[in-house]
Amino acid sequence: MAKMATMRGRMKYEDELCVQKHILDIEREIEAKDLTGQLFSRKLIDMDDIESIEAGPSRPERARRLISILVLRGPTSFQGLIESLEEMGYDELGKLLKSSCASEKELMSSLTDSERATDLKDEMEMLKERVQEVERSGANKHDLRVLRSDVSHKLQCMRITLKKIEELTRVSRATAVTINSLRQQLDKKEQLLAEARKQIEELQAKVGNLEAENVVLKSSIEDQQKQIVILKKVMKRDKEEMENRISDVEADRKRDKRETQAQIYKMQQEQQAKTDEIMAAFQTLTHTQPEIKKSTKKTRRLKSVVYVQPVVPKNRFQGDRK
């Protein structure tokens, strides 16, 4: 099978020029392993070729091996490469190679027309020499005059035709150069568009990541806001409970204070009543028994030193005292 593949001949000259022109694009864009199956189905490569291509140590090297093999696989190998590229998703590269190949063919066509015009000039010179040979051979003068007139007329027409061909060739070359330049500019534009498209995709990926992060952040903020609302409610409830406790304590303190003051006042009144009773009793005894006067002084002294111990009610927030 390998021998049959190598006997097909070379790729078309203009197709080979196109491949050489874009070899860097091919090495950069394609993975040769993706194309071996398609090329094998088209009988452009064999199993030995596949093993050689896939043994390449790097992606560019595998692409170079693939191209070096296809160049020797006959005039249809370029079209097979284009079709394989399109079938495996390398559409942009396929379009680039086809457009470049078309411009190369136009240029080759213009060069062929120029070569044909040169050949016509050479034939005209050869015809002149043949006429001169006939004149030197001594042919009939009438025949020579007719022949000379006919040849002169034909040569004049040929000169006009050659001038037209030269003009058309010049225009064709200029047009081919212009078309080639436009195609190169279009190729550059496509490359710039591809780069811009890649940058847009990268930006879209970054925007997507930012949107995802924003969703997570928004969810986290909402959770924190909910926690803040709950915390505020708890703090408000605690504050109200604390204020109620303080109010209760203050009320209890005031009530205990009033009760204590009332008890003290009551005890003072009772003590005063007892003292008045004692004084009244002593005064009665003083009138009946003069001896008791001496003890009256002691009783007065005792009254002056009497101390009433206030009874303080126990606060409900204090512990029991023993």
Q: What is the pLDDT of residue 316?
A: 53
Q: What is the pLDDT of residue 306?
A: 45
Residue 316 CA: distances (Å) to CA of 231, 248, 255, 319: 33, 12, 11, 8
Q: What are phi and psi of 124, to 5 degrees?
A: -65, -45
Nearest CA among 23, 39, 50 for reference residue 86: 39
User: Does residue 246 lie within any of the structural domains?
Assistant: no
Q: Is 45 exposed, middle or buried (0-12, 13-18, 19+ CB in 10 A)?
A: buried
Q: 10-41: per-residue pLDDT in tens? A: 888 888 888 888 888 888 888 999 999 999 99
Residue whose pair of structure tokens reads 């409970």 in the numeric block: 241
Residue 51 CA: distances (Å) to CA of 2, 92, 271, 322: 12, 27, 127, 106
User: Does residue 51 lie within any of the structural domains?
Assistant: yes
Structure tokens of 218? 């928004």
User: Does residue 152 lie within any of the structural domains?
Assistant: no
Q: What is the pLDDT of residue 176?
A: 63
Helices 91-136 and 77-87 meet at what angle, rounded to 10? Answer: 160
Q: In total, how many domains does the chain have?
A: 1
Give the three-class secondary structure for 320.
coil
User: Does residue 52 lie within any of the structural domains?
Assistant: yes
Q: Which residues does the chain have with pLDDT short of 50?
A: 1-4, 6-7, 110-114, 292, 305-308, 321-322
Percentage of the chain beyond pLDDT 70 is 64
User: Does residue 318 lie within any of the structural domains?
Assistant: no
CB atoms within 10 A of CB 263: 14
Q: What is the pLDDT of residue 298?
A: 52
Q: Report the distance separating Cα 30 and Cα 91, nearest Å.
A: 11
Give Cα 258 distance to the centre of its chain. Answer: 79
Q: What is the pLDDT of residue 49?
A: 92
User: Does residue 5 lie within any of the structural domains?
Assistant: yes
Q: 101-133: per-residue pLDDT in tens? A: 765 555 555 444 445 555 555 666 666 566 566
User: Does residue 106 lie within any of the structural domains?
Assistant: no
Q: What is the CATH number of the domain that holds 39?
A: 1.10.533.10
Structure tokens of 321? 């005292």
Query: Where in the sequence is the domain holding 16, given as residue range(s)?
Result: 1-89
Q: Give the gyration radius of the chain's Cα atoms.
A: 62
Q: What is the pLDDT of residue 40?
A: 92
Residue whose pair of structure tokens reads 């330049």 in the numeric block: 181
User: Does residue 63 lie within any of the structural domains?
Assistant: yes
Q: 279-302: per-residue pLDDT in tens? A: 888 888 777 655 545 555 555 555
**Helix, strand, coil share of the chain (percent; to 5):** 85, 0, 15
